[in-house]
C-alpha cells in the first residue's frame, strides 16, 4: 500500500499530554519504541495533544498507528486494537485532543482523500486524572505491552 505521495512508510503517532499522568500514555509508548529496533520506513512522532498539524504527516504515510488513552470504562491498563475510519469510530478520550484527532480522520474525507490505513491502540485509563508526570501502576505496566503490539503490527505490515 502506498500513501498519497507514493511512499510506503508507516507513522507511529503517540497522542497525549504527559503533564496529565495516564493521559500521556501514547507519548510514553512512542518514547519506549525509540529504544527498540523497528523496520525500515517507520517514523515515530510525539503528537502531543493532537492538532491539524498532524494531518500532513498522516497524509504522507501509507499506514498510521495511533496510541492514545481512552475513557471506555474498562480496567485501567486494558488495551484495545481498533480500526477507526470516521470520528464516530474513535473511543471517548479525556482532553481537548478528543476533538482534534477525531476531526483529522474526517478531514481526509472533507478533502476528498481516503485516510491512510489507521490502527489505533487505545489504552484504558481512569476517568479522573491528577496533574503530574506519574503514571498509575496499571497504565505504566501497559507501556511495554502496547510497544510489543505496535512492533507486531509493524512487522505484519512490513511483511505484507
Q: What is the pLDDT of residue 79?
A: 97
Choose among 58, 57, 32, 30: nearest CA to 44.
30
CA–centroid distance for 122 within its chain:
7
Q: What is the pLDDT of residue 98?
A: 47
Kindly report, residue by residue over 77-111, the tens digit of the pLDDT: 999 998 877 666 666 654 444 445 667 777 766 77
With a pLDDT cut of 70, the percent of the chain lying above it is: 79
Lowest mean pLDDT among 58-62, 98-102, 112-116: 98-102
Q: Three cell numbers at 150?
A: 505496535
Q: Enter the pTM of the model.
A: 0.85
Kindly report, residue by residue over 115-146, the tens digit of the pLDDT: 678 899 999 998 776 788 899 999 999 999 99
CATH architecture of the domain covering 10-159: 3-Layer(aba) Sandwich (3.40)
Amino acid at each position: 500500500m502506498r500513501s498519497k505521495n507514493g511512499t510506503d512508510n508507516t507513522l507511529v503517532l503517540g497522542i497525549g499530554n504527559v503533564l496529565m499522568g495516564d493521559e500521556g500514555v501514547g507519548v510514553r509508548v512512542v518514547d519506549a519504541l525509540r529504544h527498540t529496533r523497528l523496520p525500515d520506513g517507520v517514523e515515530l512522532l510525539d503528537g502531543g495533544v493532537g492538532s491539524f498539524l498532524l494531518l500532513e504527516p498522516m497524509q504522507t504515510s501509507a499506514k498510521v498507528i495511533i496510541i492514545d488513552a481512552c475513557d471506555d470504562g474498562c480496567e485501567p491498563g486494558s488495551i484495545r486494537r481498533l480500526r477507526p475510519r470516521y470520528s464516530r469510530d474513535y473511543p471517548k478520550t479525556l482532553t481537548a485532543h478528543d476533538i482534534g484527532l477525531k476531526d483529522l480522520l474526517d478531514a481526509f474525507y472533507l478533502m476528498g482523500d481516503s485516510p491512510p490505513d489507521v490502527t489505533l491502540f487505545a489504552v484504558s485509563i481512569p476517568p479522573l486524572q491528577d496533574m503530574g508526570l506519574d503514571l498509575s501502576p496499571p497504565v505504566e505496566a501497559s507501556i511495554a505491552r502496547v510497544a510489543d503490539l505496535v512492533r507486531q503490527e509493524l512487522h505484519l505490515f512490513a511483511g505484507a
